[in-house]
Amino acid sequence: MTSKIRSAKVLTVSDGVAQGTRTDNSGLALTDFLASNGFTVSEHRVCADGIETVAATLREMITGFAGLVVTTGGTGFGPRDLTPEGTVQVIERSAPGMVEAIRQMSDRDGRNFGMLSRGICGTVDATLICNLPGSTAGALEALGVILPALPHALDLLGGKRLH
């Protein structure tokens, strides 16, 4: 990362965490990881699973914000895993290369669970939203894969012309 301070927000999508019956391990780990990699995390929220819940929460979080928003949870095949469907209602442009990189890297342990992730990445104005897995290890691994590209992506979203 460059020395420039970057802004980030974290959204944990989980019925259990929202109801207080589960600990938000992945959200807390992402917040720490981002902070240790040059980001200022200005918000960490939790919302219940569901298309409208995710979409409404993301809209609130990105209002007046420029930077990175990562979500954790709700990207799998479970009946309440609807984070991508909520996210697609908010983004203006998709960023499929980031998702492809995450899925490829997630397959390196031989279990091939990366192919089960339905997460998406995309932009809204000067904000990049990336859906990450709900498991702590999966979320950190996924963020680690795209981390090297984030400064450049955020610079471009912010209007900086790079030659």
| 90-143 pLDDT, tens digit each | 999 999 999 999 988 755 556 667 777 899 999 999 999 999 999 999 999 999
Q: Edge-to-edge strand order for the sheet containing 93-94?
A: 39-47, 6-13, 67-72, 127-132, 121-124, 93-94
Task: Count Cα atoms within 13 angstroms, Cβ side, for 11.
Answer: 27
pTM of the model: 0.93
Give the burial class of 19: count Cβ atoms within 10 A of its Cβ; 0-12 exposed, 13-18 middle, 19 or more buried: exposed
Mean pLDDT (whole number) for 30-40: 97
Single-letter residue type at 12: T
Beta-bridge mates of residue 132: 72
pLDDT greater at residue 102 or residue 160: 102
CA 114/CA 15 separation, integer angstroms: 22
β pairing state of 39-47 and 6-13: parallel
pLDDT greater at residue 112 or residue 11: 11
- Domains of the chain in sequence order: 6-157 (3.40.980.10)
